[in-house]
Amino acid sequence: MTEESRPHHEPIPEWDEIADEILEGCGYDPDLGKRMAEDAIKIANGELTEQEFHERYHEEVKAEFGTDDRPTKPEGFDD
C-alpha cells in the first residue's frame, strides 16, 4: 500500500492516555495492570518475548490474584 493510498483513519487514543481512567477503582492493582498492558503491546511489537513478560510479572500476578493462568507461561516454567 502506498503512503498516498493509506487511509488516514481516526487514531484511537493511545492506550496509556486512558489506562488510568479504565483501571481506577478496578479492585486490583492499577499500576500492575498498566505496566502489564504496556508490556503486552511490546510483545506484539516484537520488543519483548512472552517468556520475559511471564517471568517479569509472575510473582506480582500470583500475589495479586492468587494464581497466574496467563497463556504466556513458557514450557517447563516452575511456578
Partner 1 sequence: MGQAWNRVLTVGGDHVDTPEGSYPEDGDGGTLEMSYQPTACQHCENAPCVKVCPVNATFTREDGIVEIDYDKCIGCRYCMAACPYNARVFNWEDPQHVPEEGTGDVEERPQGVVEKCTFCSHRVEEGLDPSCVVNCPADARIFGDFDDENSTVSKYVAEYDTHQLLDDKGTDPKTYYIQGEMSPGRPWKGKELEEELDEEPTAEEPADVTGDESVSGAAANPTGGDD
Residue 79 within binding range of partner 1, rule CB under 8 A: no
Can you state the angle between helices 15-23 and 30-45, rounded to 10 degrees? 150
**What are the φ and ψ backbone dihedral angles of 73, each rounded to 5 degrees?**
-60, 125
- For residues 44 and 79, which CB has a smaller minimum distance to partner 1 in the complex? 44
Residue 76 within binding range of partner 1, rule CB under 8 A: no
| 9 vs 30: CA distance, rounded Å | 30
Residues forming the site for partner 1 (CB under 8 A): 1, 5-15, 18-19, 22-23, 26-28, 32-34, 36-37, 40-41, 43-46, 50, 53, 61, 64-65, 67-72
